[in-house]
Amino acid sequence: MEELERPQTFTFRGAWFRAGGQELHLLLAEDTTSPAGWKEPGKSALTGLAAHVALEVDDLTGARARLESHGVGLFTGPLERGDGIVQFYVLDPDDHLIELFERTGDDQSGAAERAPVRG
């Protein structure tokens, strides 16, 4: 697997890899959130993003409108990642976190830092 550079705004610990057309993003739950079953997620309960599935879409605004038309509201976002990608998160009916993202290629030099919230 090829190791990828993470956005400079991501200052929590982790590593990203690519194999073929797929990416695997690994991060430390103790920096960002709690896995299911942990008793006290702290501030990360508001942004619990460590354990999730991410899906790339061509039109994030359209995806949001379609989800909202089915009663699915945003959990958080949209957020600029700092590397030309915009993302938002929703919860499925069983409260599993799902990220949808779009590669906009826009300049996001003003994107907010994503620092550790735990650990």
Strands 53-56 and 14-19: unpaired
Please compute the mean of the pLDDT values over residues 100-119 and round it to a whole number.
85
Residue 13 pLDDT level (bands cut at 50, 70, 90): confident
Q: Average per-residue pLDDT in the chain? A: 82
Per-residue pLDDT, 38: 47
* Higher pLDDT among residues 9 and 114, named by residue: 9
Per-residue pLDDT, 2: 94
Per-residue pLDDT, 44: 46
Separation of CA 60 from chain center: 14
For the chain, list the domains and their CATH numbers: 2-103 (3.30.720.110)
Sorted by sequence, the CB contacts under 8 Å of residue 18 that are 6+ apart come out as 1, 2, 4, 24
Predicted confidence (pLDDT) at residue 43 exceeds the cutoff of 50: no
- In the beta sheet, which residues pair with residue 87? 79, 101
CA angle 111, 1, 48 (to 5 degrees): 40
Q: Are 6 and 108 in contact (CB under 8 A)?
A: no
Take residue 17 and report the two structure tokens written for it. Answer: 């890899």
Per-residue pLDDT, 57: 95
* Higher pLDDT among residues 99 and 43, named by residue: 99
Q: Are 80 and 86 in contact (CB under 8 A)?
A: yes
